Amino acid sequence: MALRIYFTSVISEHNAKLTAENQNLTLQNNQLENNITELIQIMETKWNEFNVSRAQWSIDAYCPKLQNQNRQCKACQDGWLPSQSSCYENNNPDDSGQKTWEEAREKCRGKISDLVVIADQTEKTFINDNSWGSSGTKGYWIGLRAEDGKWKWVDGSDLTENSWIQQPATNGQCVISVETEGWKSVSCGDRNRWICKKKALSL
- The enclosing H or E element of 80 equals none
**Residue 180: partners with Cβ closer than 8 Å, 6 or more residues away:** 128
Same domain, 11 and 33: yes
Same domain, 126 and 189: yes
Same domain, 131 and 171: yes
| Last residue of one domain, picked from the residues 31, 53, 73 | 73
- Tell me, what CATH number does 178's domain have? 3.10.100.10
Same domain, 117 and 191: yes
Q: Are 154 and 115 in contact (CB under 8 A)?
A: yes
Same domain, 27 and 90: no
The count of structural domains within the chain is 2
Cβ neighbours of 124 (radius 10 Å): 18
Rounded distance between C-alpha atoms, residue 97 and residue 185, angstroms:
21
| Last residue of one domain, picked from the residues 73, 97, 114 | 73
Higher pLDDT, 118 or 72: 118
**Residue 139: C-alpha distances to residues 68, 74, 115, 119 (Å):** 42, 29, 14, 19
Residue of 125, 136, 51, 55 whose CA lies nearest to 88: 125
% of the chain at pLDDT higher than 90: 56
Judged on CB neighbours under 10 Å (0-12, 13-18, 19+), 176 is buried
Same domain, 134 and 157: yes
Query: What mean pLDDT do residues 37-66 have?
Result: 67
Same domain, 88 and 63: no
Residue 178: pLDDT over 90:
yes
| Last residue of one domain, picked from the residues 73, 101, 122 | 73
Residue of 110, 130, 109, 106 whose CA lies nearest to 118: 130
Which amino acid would we find at residue 109? R
Rounded distance between C-alpha atoms, residue 178 and residue 149, angstroms:
23
Same domain, 87 and 178: yes
Domain of 119 in residue numbering reads as 81-199
Query: What mean pLDDT do residues 77-93 have?
Result: 94
Dump pLDDT digits (tens) for 145-170.
Answer: 999 999 999 999 999 998 999 999 99
Same domain, 6 and 64: yes
Q: Are 117 and 84 in contact (CB under 8 A)?
A: no
Same domain, 89 and 151: yes
**Residue 192: C-alpha distances to residues 160, 186, 202 (Å):** 25, 10, 31
Same domain, 178 and 114: yes
Same domain, 68 and 135: no
Q: What is the pTM of this model?
A: 0.70
